[in-house]
Amino acid sequence: MRGNKIKNRRFWEIDAFRGIAIILMIIYHLLFDLHYFLGLGFDVSTGIWRALQVAVAGLFLLLVGISLTLSRRKHFPEFFKRGIMIFSWGIAISIVTYIFIPDAWIFFGILHMIGISIMIGYLFLRYKWLDLIIGLAVITAGILLSNYSFDFPWLIWLGLKPEVYYTVDMFSLMPWFGVVLIGIFLGKIMYSKGERRFNFPEVKSTYGLSWIGRHSLMIYLIHQPILMGVIFLMGML
């Protein structure tokens, strides 16, 4: 049996992988916050921890691309509405971080990136192999551009970064939209016509992970206020 179509095009393994990414993200942010605000532990913004951050973000964006293919029968206004909603949450986080950490505020973070990707990703749903080619090209362009700096800051969201800047969360279109495009390509391969094209038996022990994955946006929005509350209390002890 090649696979079963799931109601509402939800596949437990996609939610479970998203749940794993959320858990790893919370662990990373906790370690980062402890070091940044209390000087505890060690700097997790470099070395293997930086690699972990990149891997988790890459998994998130890969799943964004795969999920877009499972919604391919929707019309653009639905994609636009969803993208604007997530991008708006990104703007809210920009405002909050500008107030509380103005020297490192988030001006184009992961939610900005996901929101934009949902909107422009719709234009690529008709393709497959071309998405892989363009995705690899975007990633390559982003890596090459990271070796250069520019005198203007207004295209940093695209991947043209000034020589001096600091932010706690930065995900420009180049290279990260390339990851989304590769996700669209994988979605076309693995979930053609909304069906799972491989045998993948459901594992009951992953139900918790799947639940976390289904509520990833809510968890993302509330986890930092919770962590900051805990860190604030720790600082008072």
Cα separation, 35 vs 24, in Å, equals 17
* Dihedral sign (CA 27, 33, 36, 39): negative
Residue 65 pLDDT: 96
pLDDT at position 1: 33
CA pair distance 68, 92, nearest whole angstrom: 24
Which pLDDT score is estimated for 29?
Answer: 92
Q: How far is Cα 48 from Cα 63, in angstroms, rounded to an integer?
A: 22
DSSP 41: S
This prediction has a pTM of: 0.90
Each residue's pLDDT expressed in tens, for the chain with a length of 237 residues:
344 443 446 888 999 999 999 999 999 999 998 988 888 888 888 889 889 999 999 999 999 999 999 985 678 889 999 999 999 999 999 999 999 889 989 999 999 999 999 999 999 999 999 999 999 999 999 999 999 988 888 899 999 999 888 898 899 999 999 999 999 999 999 998 888 888 777 777 788 999 999 999 999 999 999 998 888 887 765
Residue type at 192 in one-letter notation:
S
Give the angle subtended at the CA of 34 by the CAs of 221 and 89, to the nearest 5°: 15
Q: How far is 164 from 153, CA to CA, in rounded Å?
A: 9
| Locus of tokens 């459901």 | 202
Question: Could you tell me which residues come within 8 angstroms of residue 204 by beta carbon, excluding any fewer than 6 positions away?
Answer: none
**CA pair distance 237, 26, nearest whole angstrom:** 23
Model pLDDT, residue 223: 94
| Residue spans per domain, the chain | 7-236
**CA–CA separation, 130 vs 163, rounded Å?**
33
State both tokens at 167. Answer: 């932010």
CB 36 within 8 A of CB 89: no
| Tokens linked to 73 | 């029968």
